Amino acid sequence: MHNGGVRLLAWLSIGTVAGGALSDRDATVDFAADVRPLLSDRCFTCHGPGVADPAGGLRLDLADEAVDPDGFSAIVPGDSDASELVRRLAHEDPERRMPPARSKLELTDEEKDLLRRWIDQGATYGEHWSFVRPERSAPPDVRAEDWVRDDLDRFVLARLESLGIAPAPEADPATLLRRASLDLTGLPPTVDELRSFLADETPDRFERAVDRMLASTAHAEHMTALWLDVARYADTFGYQADVDMNVWPWRDWVIGAFERDLRYDEFLTQQLAGDLLPDATHDTRLATAFNRLHRMTNEGGSVEEEFRVESVADRVETMAGAFLGLTVGCARCHDHKFDPISQRDYFGLFAFFDGIDESGLYSHFTTSVPTPALDLPTEEQAAKLAEAQAKVDALEAQIGDEPAPLSTLFEADFTSIGTKGAVLRAIADPEIVEDEEDVPFVRLDGENGVAAHSVGEFRRGQPFEIELSIRVPRTFERAVVLHRSRAWTDAGSRGYQLLIEDGRLSFALVNFWPGDAIAIHAVEPVAVGRWIDVVMGYDGSSRVEGLSLTVDGERIATEVVRDELTRTIQSGMGEQLTIGSRFRDRGFPGGEVRSLVVRGLSQTATGVHVDLQRARKNRDYLRQRIPQIMTMREAGPPVPERVAYLLGRGLYSERLEPVEPATPASLPAFTDEAPASRLDLARWLTHPDHPLTARVHVDRLWRVAFGRGLVPSADDLGSQSRPPRHQELLDTLARDLIESGWDGRALLRRLVLSATYRQSSAASEESRRMDPDGEHLSRALRTRHVAETIRDALLRAAGRLSRTTGGPPVLPYQPPGLWAETASKTYTPSEGEGLRRRSVYTFWRRTLPPPTMTLFDAPSREVCRVARPATTTPLQALALWNDPQFVDAAVALARVAIESAGADDAARVRYLVEALASRDPSEAELEAMSALLQAQRGIYAQDPGEARMLAEYDIERVAHPGKAAGESEAAAKDDQVLDDATAVEVAATAVVASALFGLDEVVARR
Amino acid sequence: MTDERIDHGLRNLGRRSLLRGATLGLAGAALSRIARADDGEGVPPSPTARAKRVVHLFMSGGPSQLDLWDPKPLLRERNGEELPDSVRRGQRLTGMSGNQSTLPLAGSHFDFAQYGQSGAWVSELLPYTAKIVDDLCIVRSLETDAINHDPASTFLLTGSEIAGRPSLGAWLSYGLGSMNRDLPEFCVLLTRAKGGQPLYQRLWGSGFLSARHAGVQLRAGSDPVLFMNDPPGIDRATRRRMLDALRAARSDSDGAADGAALARMAQAELAFRMQASVPEVADMSDEPDSTFDLYGPEARKPGTFAANCLLARRLLERDVRFVQLFHQGWDQHAGLPKAIRVQCSETDRASAALVTDLKRRGLLDDTLVLWGGEFGRTCYSQGALTATDYGRDHHPRCTTMWMAGGGVRAGAIHGATDEFGYNVTQDPLHVHDLNATLLHLLGIDHERLTVRHQGRRYRLTDVHGVVEERLLA
């Protein structure tokens, strides 16, 4: 951008995009599968969609433009030699050869040949595979009928038979149980579960085990953990200050949704638009927090609109990544170079998410939940609040229109500023002047002001009046005349304030601007250049009708700006009633103030008005204690309708023309009616003919079951995406999903019970040779588990995993000082079972996520991520050895093994391997580990003190080293000091357990 | 959930391709993976590479170029006068000073003098760095897009304001691999207990690249790498026995022929070696007194910037590719004259010492040293301008940074700003240009170092960046 022109997007090709057609000379070239991705990758930068001025006027994405039967034609169908496109690929003049050298793109000979063959075969264009409705294919015939358990197996087997590979034999029952248990619940079977499964001789034992798993809370927790990456869920706002945000009730909503098997169309709809459903409930509104989990900043000096646009953009990109499998972020700044998503399409989607009454920033000085927010009362809280409200209602009815009897509480004497004990205090030297009648008044410059100590500390349930005499020097776009607040955007404007905006007076009581406030704005401009007397009046009702502005004794006409005040207007941050000056705001430059009178109910007043004030105080106190969560709620009157704009280069400051909500033009609309709301968007996404939604979800479920999706690029079904390895299968399952009423759990059950799933992961020679990557599904894949599963499974194997579900996030052990050294925050580990809950409950700080998770490739959750890499690093080995959580697990497992297996070394090793890998040890394992056990026993016998340090290792004590005895679980255990012999046994066995954490099954599927 | 093998293959491919510009099929990727399960060795350096290693001294918060590197006598002459609109040209300010009723020009309280053959102007606050100006290439015209810390730091260090992209060091790890067997290829050192603008892992994270490319924080103290110390009761010999037992146990197991399982075993061996090599590199007891004479006595205190500079040199000596130091505290919105003095006293001597030390060890020729923050600071005072005090707000339109060694032009001064120190008037160097140049020095064409993610290729420099030839020796 800074260079003026758009430079060529010049890339190197990594991997070839074309699939199988490369090799087979006679095969029909598939435009969608092979040609379009290739053209898209190498040619569309200059000759594709989104190019304002395609090179040579040529677009290769449109058949009509590439093929011109009359004139000069880049592509002559049926005749590659006559096609300029082919000539240019091998042109002797480097200046004319395509792609041009400056693009740093090339085509391999195979790829050139592919294009030639496509042209020779007629150069038929077709739509990209994922942009047309998925259609069912008849399951192919197979020879080995016996192998088939589900129609889906036929697709797999037909491919294997055509390649001449036999499917792998069925995995042994123990392996299968472990695999299914980890895939579906994220937890391994316990030793007892495994043994009773193996002892069960009924033919449907696996089916029943799978049904048990799918019905378990553990399954819901596991599915939730996977969804949290997509939803970019975290417990903090992100950006540098990274303050906590209270959104875990949404996480529990997700767990609940999986637990009660909420159908996928509902799951999607409730999260996108649960607030707009005709039968919206508290629960469906809570679901919409999905759209608010994006990062937010409170960094001083940030431009509010800049970051509001970021929030909305993040909603769009998360929706597209989660449900469409498309990356639309590129189209924010320019038409997409490959996918047919234009910038207009992007902002059409943007307009769906733009209509809530929100701020782009959260408050630095207060803990307001950014609006719109949903109250989350317990039943008891709700009942108490209703009772308190009834009292207020009764008193309000009793009082009717009778105004509260206000008396003067304070009258300013500006000559007192700077004197001893004065209530008034100068901020940055305001000028004190005397007028013609020797009346002293204050003259301000914008930076300075006058603050009154302990004056006007009104709650929202208290009626008050503030009268002041001011002279406005000129017409202001914005000026702060009087306020009681800590700051402007840095405090969400919490407090009350008299401003001049657009030349007119405005008066507001604010909890969090803009969504939790009442505000009025004068219709007529304020008089300039003469003294006027202004009274701000408020009746204590928390309703906008209770606000008034009076000028020179006349109540003036005002319009309602906001009418929703539900929370306190006090921040307790030392705010004072102040004339002029406000932190990082404009003040009242050139403004003059000569009197200030504050009125309210006197302390000694009695009667029904005081009763009402007390009743309101009680109600407001109860309300204030009810936690809230950010959700979606469309703004309505009086909030002015927000117009979404197409933003030049995606920048908040470059508004071009207004845009209406719209689904992308290149995807079918299904209806003639223009979509207007997020609910329409959700309905569109879940339309039975939608080309993407079902495919994306089938692929997600396939990934859950098989460790890898059918679509090679899990995060992308766009036009650069390679076609799925089994498109007929994917599409057939997509139809099945839709026709089942989006029953994801039923589909997952089918996948796991299929013959394909039950294959062994051991690769036959043939499978290894013909299907090296496993993409033809000739065996089960040995993919690495996600971080959460690795931790949870180890804790579970050791009998240390807490099975408590739901609730606020917990802080398991992490090395001390990590938070402090980057951001002056203290990480205080949880106590007791909080150290041992499932990882889905681990507190997720975006700027420094839990290290044991990130070491195993968990993302930061700053943005939507659909798939995780699975890497291997030395730091992972160190974590498995030495993370105190795992040391604790090794010791705990050792104790269990000793208890269960007794003194026999082989039995003990057998138990450990069974617990960690759900199988019997091999001879080599038995031998090596028994030898290790024996060796350690000998070494520790020499030094029982050393053994005791390991044998008595306890995560509780490591996490809370400073704890005095008696305060923790660990301390209680201290009473039972191990005798030397026991310590030696436990320590030696723990060493073996820890060594066995290096078994590949601990981190990878089998 | 993405298959690590694909990732792995892409990595090898990406590296090789960028160096020779070829296109390979996926079959090739798979082959290269199988052939090289342990990816420890580096790639032969490109013939155009001038630097093998990089050390980046990141001054978090944005040091004031006007008080350190870019003297503006006019600001002193017109101290307190309003910033002319003709200079500001309506460009945006932060919300911190954007609502101030005045924007008074603030002359620096610090005197400048010219040093070295190059005659570079340096503030009295940097007496040590002033002595090495002839080794430095000073860029006075660095410009960025962002005006707040988080976006600006993220932009400088990942090439994008949007979270989720790989950091500079991760790109290098991905592109060039490791040159050493026993240490991480990308190390991050934070000055301890500084406070100031918070830091976040994203700045040295791997973004959508795999976690193996993320920066590894070496922490001051007894456990420099997370989970490196064995627990009580397990000593080094026991750990060795555990690994040997595991190796023996797996000899006939099903996983033996599994490439990923072999890779994990190899990484466990590397972990074992790191348990020895990291403490060795962090243990400064073998450094002679002359080292501490050079870096200053602070270098004896673990976790100080000076100690981190010395640690950086030790890591670079052992062929760690990229070392990034973070020093917080440069965000002087108010009370600048006092605060910047402290910052400089913490960093000046050691920064200069690092360059000198690398030079005398013959490492400077192929080690690139970078010094600078995420943006500059304003020529006007944020908050009240008094006789003894001023503050400066964020300023994205220009700042000064310096580079040394690694193929950059020593003794050069690149770019210039107007007499208010507000706008660049000559040879602007955008962050993308800086990153393009940096990659060039490492032998990488920034347009070819790409990774495919979510259906497109990503670059450190997005679709921008021009190698600034005039910075090159």
As a whole number of angstroms, the distance between CA B391 and CA B61 comes to: 13
Q: In chain A, what residues touch B255 (CB-CB under 8 Å)?
A: 782, 1000-1001
In a domain, B172, yes or no: yes
B148, closest residue in chain A (CA to CA): A302
Which member of A7, A445, A925 has the closest CB to residue B101?
A: A445
Q: What is the DSSP letter of A32?
A: I
List CB contacts (< 8 A) between A991 and chain B: 234, 238, 241-242
Query: How far apart are alpha carbons B112 and B68 in whole angstroms?
Result: 8
Which helix (H) or strand (E) segment is B93 a member of?
none
B230 belongs to a structural domain:
no
pLDDT at position A969 is 54
Measure the CA dihedral A252/A254/A255/A261, to 10°: 140
Q: Is residue A49 predicted with pLDDT exceeding 80? A: no
Report the pLDDT value the prediction gives residue A437, as an integer from 0 to 100: 79
* Under 8 Å between Cβ of B416 and B140: yes
B256 touches chain A (CB under 8 A): no
Residue in the structure block whose two tokens are 């003194």: A903
Sign of the CA dihedral with A812 first, then A815, A820, and A826 last: positive
Enter the tokens of residue A419: 């004197």
What is the structure's pLDDT at B65? Answer: 98
**Which 8-state DSSP code applies to residue B444?**
-
At A718, the amino acid letter reads: G
Q: What are phi and psi of A867, to 5 degrees?
A: -140, 150
Predicted confidence (pLDDT) at residue A248 exceeds the cutoff of 50:
yes
List the one residue out of B465, B470, B439, B461 whose CA is nearest residue B51: B439
For the stretch A751-774, pLDDT in tens is: 999 999 999 999 888 998 899 889
Handedness of CA A496, A499, A505, A506 (dihedral sign): negative
Alpha helices in A414-511 (DSSP H): none
Q: Which of A98-112, A548-562, B316-330 has the lowest mean pLDDT?
A: A98-112
Inspect the interface and report whether the beta carbons of A721 and B198 lie closer than 8 Å. Answer: no
Inter-chain contact A863–B238, Cβ cutoff 8 Å? no
Residue B114 identity: Q
As given in the structure block, the two tokens for residue A714 are: 């899990």
pLDDT of residue A58: 82
The residue with greater pLDDT, B216 or A283, is A283
Looking at residue A88, what is its pLDDT?
86
Reduced to 3 states (helix: H, G, I; strand: E, B; else coil), residue A69 is coil
Residues A685 and A142: their CA atoms lie apart, in Å, by 35
Q: What whole-number distance in Å separates Cα of residue A339 and Cα of residue A262?
A: 32
Q: Which helix (H) or strand (E) holds B187?
A: strand B186-190
pLDDT number for residue A107: 85
Q: Choose the closest CB to B2 out of A327, A714, A772.
A: A714
Instruction: Identify whether A372 is preceded by a cis peptide bond (ω within 30 of 0).
Output: yes
User: Rounded to the nearest 10 degrees, how much is the dihedral formed by the CA atoms of A338, A339, A343, A347?
Assistant: -160
Per-residue confidence (pLDDT) for residue B254, from 0 to 100: 54
Is the distance from CB of A14 to CB of B14 less than 8 angstroms?
yes
Nearest-by-Cβ selection for B95 from A584, A875, A927: A584
b/e map of A867-885 (b: 16 or more CB within 10 Å)?
A: bbbbbbbbbbbbbbbbbbb
Q: What is the dihedral of CA A88, A91, A95, A97, to 10 degrees?
A: 40
Tell me the shortest Cα–Cα distance from B97 to chain A, in angstroms. 7
pLDDT of residue B36: 28
Which pLDDT score is estimated for A972? 53
- Give the alpha-carbon dihedral of A418, A424, A425, A430, to 10 degrees: -80
Distance CA(A810)–CA(A818), nearest Å, equals: 17
Helix locations, A48-190, DSSP H: 63-66, 84-89, 109-120, 151-163, 173-185
Query: Is the pLDDT confidence value at A64 over 70?
Result: yes
Assess B35–A contact: CB distance below 8 Å, yes or no: no
* CB contact at 8 A, A981 and A778: no
Most confident range, picked from A421-425, A564-568, B443-447: A564-568
Domain holding B326: CATH number?
Answer: 3.40.720
Among partner residues B10, B245, B275, which is closest to A929 by beta-carbon distance? B245
Torsion of CA A487, A489, A494, A496, to 10 degrees: 70
> Which range among A8-12, A335-339, B361-365, B382-386 shows the weakest confidence by mean pLDDT?
A8-12
Taking CB atoms and an 8 Å limit, are A877 and B264 in contact across chains?
Answer: yes
pLDDT for A85 equals 85
The shortest CB-CB distance from B249 to any of A239, A872, A925 is to: A925
Please give the residue of chain B at the shortest CA–CA distance from A487.
Answer: B96
**Is residue B203 one of the residues assigned to a domain?**
yes
CB B167 within 8 A of CB B157: yes
Q: Is the pLDDT of residue A25 over 80?
A: no
pLDDT at B350: 98
* A429, amino acid identity: D
Q: Half-sphere exposure of residue A964, counting CA atoms within 13 Å on the CB side?
A: 0
Q: What are the distances in angstroms from CA B42 to CA A483, A912, B179, B185, B278?
A: 63, 39, 5, 10, 19
Which residue in A445, A781, A949 is closest to B233 by CB distance? A949
Q: Is the pLDDT of residue A652 over 60?
A: yes
Nearest CB neighbour to B450, from listed A14, A16, A949? A14
**SS3 sequence, A814-870?**
CCCCHHHHHHCCCCCCCCHHHHHCCHHHECCCCCCCCHHHHCCCCCCCCCCCCCCCC
Query: Cα(B240)–Cα(B232) distance, rounded to whole angstroms?
Result: 15
The pLDDT, as a whole number, for residue A78 is: 85
Phi, psi of B138 (to 5 degrees): -95, 125
| Mean pLDDT, range A185-206, rounded to an integer | 96
The half-sphere exposure of A290 on its side-chain side, counting CA atoms within 13 A, is 30
**Which of A873, A932, A985 is the best substitution to test chain B (most B C-beta atoms within 10 A)?**
A873
Query: What is the helix (H) or strand (E) element at residue A549, kind and residue range?
Result: strand A547-551
**Yes or no, beta carbons of B219 and A879 under 8 Å apart:** no
B428 occurs within a structural domain: yes
| Domain span holding position B376 | 51-220+302-471
List the 74-113 stretch of B: residues with Cβ below 8 A of A: 92, 94-102
Query: Which of B180, B223, B234 is most worth mutating to test chain A (most A CB atoms within 10 A of its CB)?
Result: B234
For residue A306, which of B259, B384, B161, B54 has the smallest C-alpha distance? B161
Q: Do A1004 and B455 touch (CB under 8 A)?
A: no
Interface of B with A in 303-362 (CB under 8 A): none
* Average per-residue pLDDT for chain A: 91
CB contact set of A685 (below 8 Å; sequence gap of 6+): A268, A272, A323, A324, A693
pLDDT digits (tens, 9 = 90+) for A285-328: 999 999 999 999 998 889 999 999 999 999 999 999 999 999 88
Give which of B227, B395, B467 to mutate to test A binding, by max A Cβ within 10 Å. Answer: B227
Chain B nearest-CA residue for A13: B23
**Contact between chains at B246 and A999 (C-beta distance less than 8 A):** yes
Domain membership flag for residue B166: yes
**Pairwise pLDDT comparison (A129 vs A742), residue with the higher score:** A742
Provide mean pLDDT across the span A593-613: 93
Q: Per the domain annotation, does B340 fall within a domain?
A: yes
The total domain count for chain B is 1
A882: which 2 tokens? 């030495």
For residues A13 and B134, give the distance between their C-alpha atoms in angstroms, rounded to a whole number: 42
- Residue A555: per-residue pLDDT: 97
Rounded to 10 degrees, the C-alpha dihedral A810/A816/A822/A823 comes to 50
**Cross-chain residue pair B198–A447, CB shorter than 8 Å:** no
Distance between CA atoms of residues A954 and A949, nearest Å: 10
The list of chain B residues with pLDDT below 50 reads 1-42, 256
- Looking at the domain assignment, is residue B252 inside a domain? no
- Specify the length of chain A in residues: 1006
Find out whether A632 and A356 touch, Cβ atoms under 8 Å.
yes
Say if B31 falls within a structural domain. no
A326 contacts in B (CB within 8 Å)? 455
pLDDT in tens, A572-593: 999 999 999 999 999 999 999 9
Statement: the pTM of the whole predicted model exceeds 0.80 = yes
Rounded distance between C-alpha atoms, residue B183 and residue A173, angstroms: 42
The CA distance from A711 to A718, in Å, is 11
Contact B201 A489 (CB under 8 A): no
Alpha helices in A441-550 (DSSP H): none
Residue of A nearest to B253 (CA): A922
Give the separation between CA B140 and CA B421, rounded to whole angstroms. 10
* Cβ pair B459, B446 in contact under 8 A: yes
For residue A583, give the chain B residue with the closest CA: B96
**Strand, coil or helix: A685:** helix
Picking from A105, A297, A474, A821 by the largest number of B CB atoms within 10 A of its own CB, the best residue to mutate is: A821
Q: How many CB atoms lie within 10 A of CB A179?
A: 23
Of A489, A720, A949, the CB nearest to B232: A949
B42/B17 Cα distance (integer angstroms) = 14
Token pair 């978090």 is found at B60
Spell out the residues 6+ positions from residue A4 whose beta carbon is closer than 8 angstroms to its own: none
Q: How far apart are CA A433 and CA A439, in angstroms?
A: 8
Q: Tell me which residue of A993, A811, A874, A991 sits closest to B226, measured CA to CA.
A: A874
Whether B212 and A872 lie within 8 Å, measured CB to CB:
yes
Better-predicted residue by pLDDT, A809 or A26: A809
Comparing CA positions, the residue from A519, A484, A492, A494 lying closest to residue A504 is: A519
Predicted local confidence at residue B193, as pLDDT: 76
Quote the pLDDT of residue A158.
97
Give the number of other Cβ atoms within 10 Å of residue A245's Cβ: 22
Q: Hey, is B86 helix, strand or coil?
A: helix
What number of C-beta contacts closer than 8 Å exist between A and B? 370
Confidence check: pLDDT of A59 > 90: no
Q: Which candidate, A377, A330, A836, places its Cα nearest to that of A625?
A: A377
In angstroms, what separates the C-alpha of B424 from chain A's closest C-alpha?
13
End-to-end CA distance of chain A: 50
